[in-house]
Amino acid sequence: MRNDLIIGMAGSGGDGIVSAGESLMSAATREGYYALMTKSFGSQIRGGESSCRVRISTERALTPGATLDVAVALNWDDFLRFGSELPVGGQTVVVYESASGILPSRIPLTGVTPADVRAVPLAEMAKTAAGTDRAKNAVVLGLLAGWFDLAPGRLKDGIGRKLAKKGAEVLEGNLRAFGAGFDHATANPLSGQLRMAPPVAGPPKLLVDGNEMCAAAAIFAGCRFFAGYPITPSTEIMQYLSREIWRYGGSVLQAEDEIAGVGAVVGASFAGLKAMTATSGPGMSLKSEMLGLATIAELPLVCVNVQRGGPSTGLPTKSEQSDLFQAVFSAHGDAVRPVLAPTCVQDTFAVTVEAFNIAEKYQTPVIVLSDQDIAQRKETVDPIDTAAFTLVERLRPTERELEGYARFRFTESGISPISQPGMPGGSYLAAGIEHTEDGAPTASGAVHARMNEKRLRKLDPLKQRKDLFRFEGDPAAPLALVSWGSVAGIAYEAWQLAKRSGLHVKLLVPHLLFPVAEGVYKDFFASVKAGLVVEQSHQGQLFRVLRTYVDLPAGLRSLTRSGANPIAATEVVEALRQTAMALQSQPVRALVPQE
């Protein structure tokens, strides 16, 4: 029996590929497994190819995995368009539509000999059972349930729930199609031990995607206003909040454009509400001026950027980590904005809550850098203990402070009490022009210098927050891995593999990307001779940011790849192994600290 199974499927729009993946996820979760599903589409508005990867495991899955165990090609042209996103290897079972006329010995996978190849009349079986070939996805589910013992009862229940509103005829047809696939698998078994081991007993799990987790966390953190504009792949945040936030006294504004959206959020924050917006790279470009207004007016807000491939429209349906420079450096003037990043669906909750806490405490816009992989993938997660969180509220002025109120008063911490409209004595000017302590406009260079120092100094305590970093491994290890965002899961798997292979390596995953915590990195790199910063951007943006602020070890290098080109944990381990071998070839004096 196996403890892990990776299934990749691809077809044309309307084939129900993603729907089949969601059914697999739901059934596996209800059965007690951990599961993770990523989905990918062509950038066409209508039609085009679509795919999904489902990883089912008896332990928590951190990544979509590498080479597929099962590849399902409803259409070979569509399957091949995904290239390295759906890698087939020597252990893969390939299932494809026999109506293509391609012989199993002639499948178009150059240089690869799969473990097993099955040509199945999927469309014909669907039409016979359900009266329409649109039930091909149900046939596929039946095949997978039969070959791998993947909770057939749960899958049938899931089909029932999904299609209940379609009418009895559609539902019964799809159940017959599922049965046809199941019977075909039973009559034509695969070779080898492919059945999944039973799940480990435990409490019920949640099935959620990153955007939903972000929105739920915002509500929990006290967000009561959201304004934004639909943009892939962040739109689900607004959709979730549109359904749910009103239950908690909040509201959602779908603005006419990205600028109006963040402008409304700035206004809501000025009015005293915890407020948020969400977008992707092109929208962030449009929001930059308003974020500057929030910085100089010292107004808290959270801006979520769900990264996708760029520049411009780029790859709107693919994941990339190439907006870090934008988040850190795109502000005009001497503005420092905290930037946080989740690494998976599970910790998106904690990172979003932390973003609101930091925004409120330091009266600043905070950017959350999610990405398409985290935001739109579904993941089985353990229930969240909300009692473990502390919520932070902005510093309000006392009655005494409201006498002769100075909104931007210089304080030891740099944080000044903030009023809101309607508070007696709390009126002040919140403009984008530089100002004195009481908010009056000024062109004084001396005042400007003091205000810049105030706005930057108040964020210094953030750089001491070691709890915003994840550390794994021996602190004295000479090899290091650093990674962030969705790629951190790959780095974690690589770290585990590297340890088992005898490499002395440690791992650092920052949730706080900016301001750069120089002291945290200095301590981490103290023992390091060489290592890798692993990320999915062409330039290696985190590596370059760190090199700007931190004295990095001479042997630390960047391992990068552009979006839509996955990095495998085994590749990271091999790069680490080569790095370790290069260290062994150095003269002894180069490895011994010199006095």
CA angle, corner 235, sides to 230 and 239, nearest 5?
A: 105
| Amino acid at site 571 | E
Query: Which residue, among 70, 36, 72, has the nearest Cα to 55 in the 3D structure?
Result: 36
Exposure string for 64-80, b = 16+ CB within 10 A, e = fewer: bbbbbbbbbbbbbebbe
What is residue 46's predicted lDDT score, i.e. its pLDDT?
58
Phi-psi region of 517 (alpha: psi -120 to 50; beta: other; left: phi over 0): beta
Name all domains of the chain by residue range, CATH numbers in brackets: 4-187 (3.40.920.10), 209-388 (3.40.50.970), 395-458 (no CATH), 467-591 (3.40.50.920)
- Residue 593 preceded by cis peptide, ω within 30: no
- pLDDT one digit per residue (tens) for the chain, 595 residues: 789 999 999 998 778 899 999 999 999 999 999 999 998 887 766 567 889 999 999 998 889 988 999 999 999 999 999 988 999 999 999 999 999 999 999 999 989 999 999 999 999 999 999 999 989 999 999 999 999 888 888 899 888 888 888 888 999 999 999 999 999 999 999 887 678 888 888 788 899 999 999 999 999 999 999 999 999 999 999 999 999 999 999 999 999 999 999 999 999 999 999 999 999 999 999 999 999 999 999 999 999 999 999 999 999 999 999 999 999 999 999 999 999 999 999 999 999 999 999 999 999 999 999 999 999 999 999 899 999 999 999 999 999 999 999 999 999 999 999 999 999 999 999 999 999 999 999 999 999 999 999 999 999 999 999 999 999 999 999 999 999 999 999 999 999 999 999 999 999 999 999 999 999 999 999 999 999 999 999 999 999 999 999 999 999 999 999 999 999 999 999 999 999 999 887 665 544 444 4
- The confidence score (pLDDT) of residue 163 equals 84
Let me know if 185 is exposed, middle or buried by CB neighbors in 10 A (0-12, 13-18, 19+).
Answer: buried
A 10 A CB-CB count for 588 gives 6
Residues sharing a CB contact under 8 Å with residue 428, sequence separation 6 or more, in sequence order: 405, 407, 419, 438, 439
Contact present, 485 and 374 (Cβ < 8 Å): yes
Burial track 571-584 (b if 16+ CB lie within 10 A, e otherwise): bbbebbeebbeeee
Amino acid symbol at 27: A
3-state SS track over 484-495: CCCHHHHHHHHH
- Measured between alpha carbons, how far is 156 from 359 in angstroms, rounded to an integer? 46
Nearest to 521 by CA among 573, 556, 497, 559: 556
**pLDDT for position 13:** 78
Closest CA to 124 of 132, 114, 116: 132
* Other beta carbons less than 10 A from residue 484's beta carbon: 27
Alpha helices in 317-433 (DSSP H): 324-329, 345-362, 372-376
Residue carrying the six token digits 């150095």: 586
- What's the predicted TM-score (pTM) here? 0.93
| Radius of gyration in angstroms for the set of CA atoms belonging to the chain, rounded to a whole number | 26
Neighbouring C-beta atoms of residue 292, cutoff 10 Å: 18
Closest Cα to residue 279, out of 219, 238, 332?
Answer: 238
